[in-house]
């Protein structure tokens, strides 16, 4: 279940008394995107000029506003010229191989605009290893594989926006955070779009009841932020920084540790997290089915990367472990004694459930987790404070 320190809960209780605080979230957004690609790559990338339309559709499907504008440049020199007189929030560059022109462009962008996000997109199966193993990988913020799924662009935008806003939003009102640990470029490219889509879908579902339309839109801004780490050390830094607002950890098993590939790095990371007496839910995301036993022995949800029911399994993690589904009242033995689909039903059930069920859920932080998923931060903080006092 999500964990929160006393200080974090105090901030929540003080600042989430009304919906006005949601206006102050997600202050910095990606509004202007520069796409740098040859005419041929541009055609392949956007399937004949529809990429902007696909992006708009993705935003509309998720009830997101502030759709960014996409501008194209066919050469690095044209892109640099445009960047002299126009402000772009994000630069995407299409690569087939790490040639000198591509490297020079990336280095120039980072030299002139060191804080500007720069993402390299590589065609599926074309030049991926060369780009990842080249100097380019150390210059750009991310290398991702383009396989025709326009949701990847949405995921890139949200990943950048989450990085920009996470410190402000967590301090402002305790917005929750997800830590994702994965080093494979191909896995990140396929996993992130689906993870973001599911997170937003689940967030919309739990915002259906009890709020007017504007309040729902504002509360969507308080969805959990995704933080991506590529190695063991980066994961520890991000976890320490956001431990008080950490809602979940999703980790691969094999990734770099101390500069070398470690086949058990994910388990070592989760053992370190558990050693901090943190109750945060964790999911092991691995392509090796043999890692299931290790994950379950640590109390972690296991998601097989090769499973035919991958999306359904991910949804199960959101619903059962993160509080996005109905609240199921149980006794300590596990026996079900009731169910609540929304806060009104929760209020009615609290009058009838056995005391031992109430105590069990309070001590396990289940109530506060369920309320956090619905951006009911003030109420969740009060309940957590009551449970720990």
Each residue's pLDDT, cut to its tens digit, for the chain (389 residues) gives: 333 333 444 443 334 444 566 778 888 999 999 999 887 776 666 554 566 666 666 665 555 667 888 899 999 999 999 999 999 999 999 887 667 788 889 999 999 999 999 999 988 666 677 776 666 777 899 999 988 788 899 899 999 999 999 999 998 888 999 999 999 999 999 999 999 988 988 887 776 655 676 777 777 788 899 999 999 999 999 999 999 899 999 999 999 999 999 999 999 999 999 998 677 899 999 999 999 999 999 999 999 999 999 999 999 999 888 888 899 999 999 899 999 988 889 989 999 999 999 999 988 888 888 888 887 877 877 787 676 55
The per-residue pLDDT for 368 is 85
- Which domains can be identified in the chain, with CATH numbers? 1-28+164-389 (3.40.50.2300), 32-148 (3.40.50.2300)
What CA–CA distance (Å, rounded) separates 338 from 318?
Answer: 20
Which helix (DSSP H) or strand (DSSP E) does residue 180 occupy? strand 177-181
The per-residue pLDDT for 6 is 37
How many helical (H) and strand (E) elements, i.e. helices and strands, does the chain have? 18, 14
Backbone angles phi, psi at 144, to 5 degrees: -135, 155
Q: Show Cβ contacts of residue 190 under 8 Å, excluding neighbours closer than 6 positions.
A: 145, 147, 149
CB 220 within 8 A of CB 25: no
The per-residue pLDDT for 20 is 60
pTM of the predicted model, to two decimals? Answer: 0.86
What CA–CA distance (Å, rounded) separates 389 from 386?
Answer: 5
The per-residue pLDDT for 46 is 59
């Amino acid at each position: 279940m999500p964990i929160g320190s006393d200080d974090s809960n105090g901030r929540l209780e003080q600042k989430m008394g009304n919906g006005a605080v949601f206006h102050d979230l997600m202050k910095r957004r990606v509004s202007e995107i520069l796409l740098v690609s040859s005419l041929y790559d541009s055609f392949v990338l956007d399937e004949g000029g529809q990429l902007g339309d696909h992006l708009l559709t993705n935003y509309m499907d998720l009830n997101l506003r502030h759709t960014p504008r996409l501008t194209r440049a066919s050469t690095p020199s044209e892109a640099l010229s445009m960047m002299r007189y126009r402000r772009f929030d994000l630069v995407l560059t299409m690569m087939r191989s790490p040639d000198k022109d591509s490297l020079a462009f990336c280095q120039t962008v980072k030299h002139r605009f060191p804080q500007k996000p720069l993402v390299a997109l590589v065609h599926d199966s074309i030049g991926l290893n060369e780009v990842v193993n080249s100097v380019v990988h150390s210059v750009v913020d991310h290398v991702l594989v383009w396989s025709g799924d326009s949701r990847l662009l949405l995921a890139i935008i949200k990943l950048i926006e989450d990085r920009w806003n996470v410190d402000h939003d967590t301090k402002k009102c305790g917005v929750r955070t997800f830590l994702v640990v994965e080093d494979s470029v191909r896995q990140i490219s396929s996993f992130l779009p689906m993870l973001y889509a599911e997170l937003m879908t689940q967030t919309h579902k739990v915002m259906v009841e009890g709020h007017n339309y504007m309040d729902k839109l504002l509360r969507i801004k308080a969805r959990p932020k995704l933080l991506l780490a590529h190695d063991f050390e980066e994961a520890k830094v991000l976890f320490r920084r956001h431990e008080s607002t950490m809602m979940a950890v999703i980790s691969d098993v094999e990734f770099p540790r101390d500069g070398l590939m470690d086949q058990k790095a994910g388990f070592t990371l989760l053992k370190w997290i558990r050693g901090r007496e943190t109750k945060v839910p964790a999911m092991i995301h691995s392509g090796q089915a043999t890692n299931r036993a290790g994950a379950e022995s640590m109390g972690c949800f296991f998601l097989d990367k090769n499973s035919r029911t991958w999306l359904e399994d991910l949804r199960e993690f959101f619903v059962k472990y993160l509080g996005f589904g109905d609240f199921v009242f149980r006794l300590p033995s596990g026996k079900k004694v009731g169910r609540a689909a929304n806060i009104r039903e929760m209020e009615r059930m609290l009058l009838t459930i056995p005391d031992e069920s109430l105590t069990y859920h309070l001590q396990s932080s289940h109530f506060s987790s369920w309320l956090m998923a619905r951006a009911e931060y003030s109420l969740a903080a009060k309940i957590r404070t009551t449970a720990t006092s």
